[in-house]
Amino acid sequence: MKSQSQLESVTKSPDTILQTYFGFDRFIGHQKEIIQHLISGNDALVLMPTGGGKSLCFQIPSIVRKGTGIVISPLIALMQDQVDDLVQSGIRASFLNSSQSYAESDLVEKAFTSGELDLLYVAPERLLTDRFLQLLEQTTIALFAIDETHCVSQWGHDFRPDYIGLSILQRRFPDIPRIALTATADSVTRKEIITKLGLTGARQFISSFDRPNIRYQVKLKNQPKQQLLDFIRYEQEDNSGIVYCLSRKKVEETARFLCDQGLTALPYHAGMEPDVRLKHQRRFVQEEGIIMVATIAFGMGIDKPDVRFVAHLDLPKSLEAYYQETGRAGRDGGKAVAWMVYSLSDVIMLRKMLESSEADEQFKRIEKLKLDTLLGFCETTECRRQVMLNYFDEELKQACGNCDTCLEPIKTWDGTEVARKALSCVYRTGQKFGARYLTDVLLGISNDRIDRFNHDQLSTYGIGTELNADEWQSVFRQLIAADLLNIDLTGFGGFKLTPKCKPVLKGEKQVLFRKDPVKKSRQKVKPGIKSQVWKNPEDEGKWEKLRILRLKLAKELGVPAYAVFKDDTLKDMIHMQPKTLGEMAEISGVGKKKLMSFGDIFLKELASF
């Protein structure tokens, strides 16, 4: 077995580094091409889905090239976890952020300036200070890696003003290669990244946006907290997951509700004390079976590979944001679920929020189009994955077979006549009212409000009794998704006809509606890792023992469990049953440093089986 000094003197070739430090025997996708491009001193823009191995694209060149790789990351709270994982793999990495004392920062700076670090993580705010820029000029820099680069775009979903200032790197360090990375950016966002960061000459590496291991499920809201509870209990019990809510109040209420039901759920939002947020985040990353209920303040850069589900109790603002947020599930390649409930009121609320913002009209127009696209994704009767990938200019020729519309195809019905009735009712009531009021008119319901406006005298009063109230709500929702109705955001949210209505009202165009599924009773199942992986029932017990051992070691070291070994590595240990260190070294994810640190301990546990 090699000593630590021998480990540090390994040949610096990408393939050797991949196996020695990270324990993998081959690169995937564009990784090797990107790494060679960067080692040669060239700039790159990399779009690669979450879990696709983006980090290796800058970590390995940072080790190969002379100097230190500077990694610009937006969330300081997550740097510790990323650095812990690298250190456990034998890589000289550290970070500089406001969580450190002066003495701690001073030690890191001395290690940096003396060339003792392969990688240094910093937030954009720190990098842009005069002091840090001067520090960079005094040292040898291998490369600049700008992670979560979509933050530079005002059209993106996680806009961070400080990212725009990173254009200074091109001016002050023109000879140092830069790599900009993100998991999601549509064509508009990509163009702005290139312009704002001065990456015009950078080669673009765009991987497939497809995450085939994630199952997409979208449902209509109907007692959303209970729907969430049923989903977790029936499909995700004992698994780690993230639940996104739009408001801080809803985050607190949902977390409390789940805890009252016996689940371990933690709230996370920007209004909480920083130390409490950090404590909750650390628990989520380091422990298993934790559910984090959060606003979008939580998630960017989360490096937890075994998140088995991401749930949305409210619509996100765009399909791009939805893709980014759901991509935090199944980073390890294992089966995961993206689950969401939505309603017409979600759309109205998001549009009102957009209209009342101080953004300019161009921004509002683009954001409205993005929201409309998301609503179309929710309402589609086609394969959801095909719709999503098409948004990112990628074609999936065959339906995926792993989304709700593929597994339980949506039935459609001819709603041409019903659509004409609904649109006529909107017109005859003055284009001032919302779905509930219009439904009452169509059903011929008598109440004070209808009497006050004399709408019981209209020709559309009582002409819609073939549908019930819920079905009319569905009709209005789908008319908005089809751009046959708009929401009047200047008043009280009433519906207005769009130009696309004319051929429908004249009977010249057919309208097909999706038939909303009827809620079914379900038997409790527990698919999780256990039923999805273990063919031999005895392996389930081995899996639990190895997880307990991993968690024990992780707590002793103060690192996340995955920094010891990831789930896939533990599964391979069970399947391959190594009996020597040599056999253990053949397992994917077991680098030489981890072999030295943990090999004998896990071999002993495996022998006990």
Number of structural domains the chain divides into: 4
* Shared domain check, 445 and 372: no
Q: Residue 580 pLDDT > 90, yes or no?
A: yes
Domain endpoint, select from 206, 241, 275: 206
Q: Does the pTM of the predicted model rise above 0.85?
A: no
Long-range pairs, 227-233, Cβ under 8 A, ≥24: 227/341, 228/254, 228/258, 228/311, 228/313, 228/339, 228/341, 229/257, 229/258, 229/261, 230/522, 231/309, 231/311, 231/339, 232/258, 232/263, 232/291, 232/309, 232/311, 233/524
* Shared domain check, 583 and 483: no
* Shared domain check, 250 and 154: no
160 vs 170, more confident: 170
- pLDDT for the residue numbered 184: 78
DSSP secondary structure code for residue 482 in this structure? T
Paired with 514 in beta bridges are 412
Across 492-518, average pLDDT: 87
Across 287-291, average pLDDT: 90
278 vs 584, more confident: 584
Q: In this predicted model, what pLDDT tens digit does every residue of 509-523 receive, in sequence order?
A: 999 999 886 655 444
* Shared domain check, 199 and 87: yes
Classify residue 525: in a domain, yes or no: no
Classify residue 522: in a domain, yes or no: no
Across 198-206, average pLDDT: 93
DSSP helix/strand/coil, 523? coil
Percent of the chain topping pLDDT 70: 92
Classify residue 99: in a domain, yes or no: yes
Across 67-88, average pLDDT: 87
Q: Containing domain of residue 63, as a range?
A: 4-206
* Shared domain check, 264 and 350: yes
Q: In this predicted model, what pLDDT tens digit does every residue of 336-379 receive, in sequence order?
A: 999 999 998 888 888 888 877 777 888 888 888 888 889 889 99
- pLDDT for the residue numbered 332: 86
Percent of the chain topping pLDDT 90: 59
Give me the CATH number covering residue 592.
1.10.150.80
* Shared domain check, 200 and 224: no
* Shared domain check, 424 and 385: no
Q: In this predicted model, what pLDDT tens digit does every residue of 526-573 receive, in sequence order?
A: 443 343 456 677 888 888 899 889 989 988 988 888 889 988 899 899
Across 53-82, average pLDDT: 89
Across 7-20, average pLDDT: 74
Classify residue 529: in a domain, yes or no: no
| Mean per-residue pLDDT of the chain | 88
Give me the CATH number covering residue 317.
3.40.50.300
* Shared domain check, 52 and 193: yes
Query: How many other β-carbons are positioned within 10 Å of the β-carbon of residue 128?
Result: 18
Q: Residue 481 pLDDT > 90, yes or no?
A: no
* Shared domain check, 495 and 397: no
Please tell me the least confidently modeled range out of 68-72, 503-507, 555-559. 555-559
Q: Supply the angle between the helices 248-260 and 224-235 in degrees, to the nearest 10.
A: 50
* Shared domain check, 465 and 566: no
